Structure 1
Amino acid sequence: MNGTGTNSTNGTTHPVIVVGSGPTGLLLAGDLATAGVPVTLVEKRPHKTSNLSRAFVLHARTLEQLDARALADDLEAVGQPLDRLRLFGDLTVDLGTLPSRFNHLLVLAQYEVEKVLERRAVAAGVDFRHETEVTGLSQDADGVTVEVRGPQGAETLRAAYVVGADGMRSAVRDAIGLPFPGKSVIRSVVLADVRLAEEPETLLTVNTVGDAFAFLAPFGDGYYRVIGWNRARDVADSEPLDLAEVKEVTRAALGRDFGMYDARWMSRFHSDERQAPAYRVGRVFLAGDAAHVHTPAGGQGMNTGLQDAANLSWKLAQVVHGHASADLLDTYQAERHPVGKAVLRSSGGLVRLAMAKRPWELALRSTLTTVLGHVTPARRRMVGRLTGIGYRYPAPRGAHRLTGTRVPDVALTGGRLYEALRGGRFVLITPRAYDDQGARKDRLTVERWASDRRTTVLVRPDGYVAWAADAADDAQIEAALTANVG
């Protein structure tokens, strides 16, 4: 859907309102505020740290995005790296050969990520409004009217743009009338936070036997999160849950229950596969679980949402500041919707293969394990999708072959790329000196290759190639900067 106008704030009180203070909303709001866009973050929950994390993994591409915000090193110090990930049966993914500074996954609870992102958002000046619920939303050519109810009662806010990052039961998505098609694929999954008398041999413990699946991950505070599922026990989420049932499904899948005791929290939930047909309706956007939900297989949920935010934030900043037409915002749908669809497909496939029971399913799993174990291109493609580094975005017809691709953390004469990306700037990498004469100093960094590479590359703030040329003169570079940076 096409946007309207070039500089689209039009005097609205709140240029951007973000709804939802999970990882996706926090990253997005922090990016916007860092870029000088006033942003209000609305959250219906009280302001407190929740232990309801279902996410425990940061993948390489997400860590790269966090590195571009000077946050990755802090999280690496808290989490625990893992360079091998067992998916099912004999299929183990070796991450040590990833072409990334982060050739591992990082095991840590979602709330640790939220703490770091919240500190950044607060420092950048985000206006937080906790215990404030969206009760209505309407939009016109000039902006969005958001009705909320908070501690002081009902209120109406006016924004240029609104982003719904408010989870699977998104009030924003409902307000703009978007369906959320899909289905529940796993019912009666049990969750528990427990202490263990016996420490597991591996950092992440996961296995499937028959109808039973179990997963163990450490919080880092002496407790472990247990996720278990018994296909033969299909009950409602409201059915009471006790520690004996958690132990039973864990023993069935892992062979023992590790002496679980002292459960501080237990619950049931169901896992859905759903995706909104559009991530943008006029001036309203969806990101994270409000746009897509899928099974936890492969640990891609939080990662996909954070990468949604990284894709959308710089585009909103460009448009709000008048450096780009609102048509730029259409590329959010074009780039991220296919990724969300691919994640649904891959995570769902992993669950189905892990729980394979019929002879033809077992045969397929065996064949796939063999192929991925022995065919390097297939394994590389699978690992690229799982970790996020393998995705590329559509490029215009006739564009350079690098356009739309992720740029690794290449060496520059001034340091490394992901340090140069900090502050939400574009980075122009050239084989020779180029002087932008300070015209775009607030949103462009000019660097030179540390190697003898001859390609000129313009890197977007999210680390993907906006434009490239093998032999570019000053006029071509200036045209590319005008078209992309403004």
Structure 2
Amino acid sequence: MNSILITGAGPTGLVLALYLARRGVPLRIIDKNSGPGRTSRAMAVHARTLEFYRQLDIADEAVAKGIKVNELHIRGGSKEKGRAELGDMGGGLSPYPFVLSFAQDEHEQFLLEKLKESGIEVEWETELSSFIDEGGYVAAELKKNGKTETVKAAFLCGCDGAHSTVRRGLGLDFHGGTYEHTFYVADAEASGDAASKHDLNMCLGEDGFCIVFPVRSTGLNRFIGILPPALEDRGKPAFEDVAPFIENLLHVKIHGVNWFSTYRVHHRVAGKFRKGRVFILGDAGHIHSPVGGQGMNTGIGDAVNLAWKLAAVLHGRANEAVLDSYETERRAFARQLVNTTDKAFHAIIGQNLTGRLVRTVLIPHVAPFLLGFSTVKKAAFNTVSQIRIHYRDSALSVGKAGKLQGGDRLPWVSGDGIDNFAPLISADWQIHIYGEATEEMRETAGKHNLALYEFKWNPACGKAGFLRNTLYLVRPDGHIGLADSRQDIPKLSNYLSSFGIGQK
């Protein structure tokens, strides 16, 4: 019996498979398509995703394959109305204090290569037709080339997109709606100020907008925008129909197109993310507007959150109670994200007076001015980069010490011989003490087979929110499980025993 069956080989499924493979968990990953996607939309890779990639030892290579976005240019036609320096806008907050432009199709190829290096290959043209949770395992029926195969898996993970077979098989609600606008996306060769090879351009007009990302591998630009109202009722438009509107809005000259597609955007969250031994992740569980480039990054966050829990349970390093926290943690964030991106999206694309003021005054003139202040820039980075995600309401989150609570992402501290993210590459539970651990704490860590890291106290530790000589039990995904200012051994032991952590 394979331990894990993953259906869907987009970024969410690939990261889930890669994480599990690196942890030595047997798995199969299938996809009904003939190969990886070629007409992807996601471009932005945020800091939290790169922090997870550092745990997989692939972050530096991912950064090298993408483009660090240095500046945001806000344009109205041929004129630049505002500019905001992005660069290392999150300096001191993350090892990756920038937004990375890395096209999803190339991103998927990169993940496929890393997965293959781990000994796993995607089974293309293989479709999940049905499944039954038998209590002790999941029985799934797969179809490929007209042949049917029945497999047994300890768990089934549906990473199969907005039209998820797994979600439908579970009978889950998918409440929400569809935005009235149609989006277009194109990889095209263009010339003009808005066709930068290194920066992000946002072009705003009275009736619409277009965002332009640089794509490293092709030297082309990725254009993402709203289909002009005049084309909405003409059926499925060709790029030749849209190109004149792009050229007029951006004042660029388009010389050729690599690919082009149109799509509708939905905003929905599934009623549940888990039933028994079956889970849904990524677009199968939540879809929302493209504001802030959150979709792909959120799916990857789902994958990491679930992967370490599945690996711990299957390796006997935690009991199944930890699996209950997946839905609690990730669905709460998905609902919050859909709500906030929905409001932001309506504010940007609204055709009323408010929408026009946002596009013509607030974004071009006010936003760049505010982003000139370091506190505002860091606050914006905290939000967009997803490093502020916390799980304080989770059963796995206990205690408070200093400014930090159980469930918070472990703040990054670097310098003076310290890099407290370096030990996270183990992707295992560990104890952090910023200062000095007691001898009893060292003995308890050894007893439970937990790595203990003592970091020399310096002002940066206090600035990050840590309390000196305090116990921080860190989860495999870099979030704090338990915080206790007294290094309370009974409290730590009780926490570990509650979830069976460190049993082997």
**TM-score with structure 2 setting the length:** 0.84
Q: For residue 422 of structure 1, give the secondary structure of its aligned residue in structure 2.
A: helix
Q: What is the correspondence of 1:181-260 to structure 2 with a 5 Å cutoff?
A: 181-198=175-192, 200-201=195-196, 203-220=199-216, 221-233=218-230, 235=232, 239-243=236-240, 245-254=241-250, 256=251, 258-260=252-254
18-27 or 127-136: bigger deviation? 127-136
Q: Which whole-Å CA distance do the structure 1 matches of 2:234 and 2:128 have between them?
A: 26
Are the equivalent residues in 2 in contact too, given 1:57–1:299 (CA < 8 A)? yes
Matched AA of 2:39: L
389-398 or 150-159: bigger deviation? 389-398
1:178 is aligned to 2:172: yes
The structural deviation recorded for 1:237 is: 9.4
Q: For residue 312 of structure 2, give the secondary structure of its aligned residue in structure 1.
A: helix
Matched AA of 2:472: V
- The match for 1:465 is 480
Q: For residue 322 of structure 2, give the secondary structure of its aligned residue in structure 1.
A: helix
334-343 or 370-379: bigger deviation? 370-379
Matched AA of 2:207: D
Unaligned regions of 5+ residues in structure 2, if any?
A: 76-80, 459-467
The structural deviation recorded for 1:142 is: 1.2
Q: Which whole-Å CA distance do the structure 1 matches of 2:234 and 2:134 have between them?
A: 40
Q: Which whole-Å CA distance do the structure 2 matches of 1:77 and 1:237 have between them?
A: 41
Q: Which whole-Å CA distance do the structure 1 matches of 2:212 and 2:498 have between them?
A: 49
- Deviation per residue, 1:445-468 (Å, 9 max, x gap): 321113253111111111100111
Q: 1:81 is matched with which residue: 46, 59, 68?
A: 68
C-alpha spacing 1:251/1:299, structure 2 compared with 1 (3 Å): same
The structural deviation recorded for 1:357 is: 3.2
C-alpha spacing 1:376/1:222, structure 2 compared with 1 (3 Å): closer
Q: Which whole-Å CA distance do the structure 2 matches of 1:19 and 1:150 have between them?
A: 13
100-109 or 452-461: bigger deviation? 452-461
1:405 is aligned to 2:408: yes
Are the equivalent residues in 2 in contact too, given 1:210–1:355 (CA < 8 A)? no
- The match for 1:456 is 471
Are the equivalent residues in 1 in contact too, given 2:52–2:477 (CA < 8 A)? yes
23-32 or 124-133: bigger deviation? 124-133
- The match for 2:139 is 145
Q: Which whole-Å CA distance do the structure 2 matches of 1:218 and 1:383 have between them?
A: 20
Q: For residue 404 of structure 1, give the secondary structure of its aligned residue in structure 2.
A: coil
Q: Which whole-Å CA distance do the structure 2 matches of 1:184 and 1:21 have between them?
A: 25
- The match for 1:302 is 296
- The match for 2:8 is 20
- Deviation per residue, 1:333-359 (Å, 9 max, x gap): 111112111221222222222223322
- The match for 1:31 is 19
Q: Which whole-Å CA distance do the structure 1 matches of 2:73 and 2:477 have between them?
A: 29
- The match for 2:78 is none
Matched AA of 1:461: P
Q: 1:57 is matched with which residue: 31, 39, 44?
A: 44
Q: Which whole-Å CA distance do the structure 2 matches of 1:382 and 1:483 have between them?
A: 37
The structural deviation recorded for 1:189 is: 1.7
Q: Which whole-Å CA distance do the structure 1 matches of 2:224 and 2:167 have between them?
A: 28
- The match for 2:462 is none
Are the equivalent residues in 2 in contact too, given 1:188–1:229 (CA < 8 A)? yes
**TM-score with structure 1 setting the length:** 0.87
C-alpha spacing 1:79/1:250, structure 2 compared with 1 (3 Å): same
1:154 is aligned to 2:148: yes
324-333 or 195-204: bigger deviation? 195-204
Q: Which whole-Å CA distance do the structure 1 matches of 2:234 and 2:140 have between them?
A: 32
The structural deviation recorded for 1:23 is: 0.8
The structural deviation recorded for 1:318 is: 1.6
- Deviation per residue, 1:258-316 (Å, 9 max, x gap): 22122222222111111111111121111111111112121111111111111111111
Unaligned regions of 5+ residues in structure 1, if any?
A: 1-12
Q: For residue 216 of structure 1, give the secondary structure of its aligned residue in structure 2.
A: strand
Are the equivalent residues in 2 in contact too, given 1:17–1:40 (CA < 8 A)? yes
Q: 1:135 is matched with which residue: 129, 149, 154?
A: 129
Matched AA of 2:54: D
Q: Which whole-Å CA distance do the structure 1 matches of 2:398 and 2:495 have between them?
A: 14
Matched AA of 1:427: Q
- Give the percent of matched residue pairs that are identical in Structure 1 and Structure 2: 28
C-alpha spacing 1:344/1:16, structure 2 compared with 1 (3 Å): same
Matched AA of 1:355: I
C-alpha spacing 1:42/1:241, structure 2 compared with 1 (3 Å): same
Are the equivalent residues in 2 in contact too, given 1:228–1:246 (CA < 8 A)? no
Q: 1:43 is matched with which residue: 22, 31, 48?
A: 31
Q: Which whole-Å CA distance do the structure 2 matches of 1:382 and 1:178 have between them?
A: 34
Are the equivalent residues in 2 in contact too, given 1:184–1:271 (CA < 8 A)? yes
The structural deviation recorded for 1:252 is: 4.3
Q: 2:426 is matched with which residue: 388, 409, 423?
A: 423
- The match for 1:9 is none
- The match for 1:96 is 89
- Deviation per residue, 1:23-68 (Å, 9 max, x gap): 1111111111222211111111223x53312111111111111112
- Deviation per residue, 1:236-255 (Å, 9 max, x gap): 79523132x3222323432x
Q: Which whole-Å CA distance do the structure 2 matches of 1:413 and 1:367 have between them?
A: 41
215-224 or 355-364: bigger deviation? 355-364
Q: For residue 31 of structure 1, give the secondary structure of its aligned residue in structure 2.
A: helix
Are the equivalent residues in 1 in contact too, given 2:90–2:377 (CA < 8 A)? no
Matched AA of 1:450: K
Q: For residue 426 of structure 2, give the secondary structure of its aligned residue in structure 1.
A: coil
Q: Which whole-Å CA distance do the structure 2 matches of 1:142 and 1:153 have between them?
A: 26
C-alpha spacing 1:238/1:16, structure 2 compared with 1 (3 Å): farther
C-alpha spacing 1:349/1:381, structure 2 compared with 1 (3 Å): farther
C-alpha spacing 1:363/1:114, structure 2 compared with 1 (3 Å): closer
C-alpha spacing 1:282/1:302, structure 2 compared with 1 (3 Å): same
- Deviation per residue, 1:401-457 (Å, 9 max, x gap): 52110112335999633321113212211222624575555xx43211132531111
How much is the aligned-residue C-alpha RMSD, in angstroms? 3.0
- The match for 1:118 is 112
Q: For residue 217 of structure 1, give the secondary structure of its aligned residue in structure 2.
A: strand
C-alpha spacing 1:18/1:417, structure 2 compared with 1 (3 Å): farther
The structural deviation recorded for 1:223 is: 2.2
- Deviation per residue, 1:155-175 (Å, 9 max, x gap): 111111111001111111111
- The match for 1:312 is 306
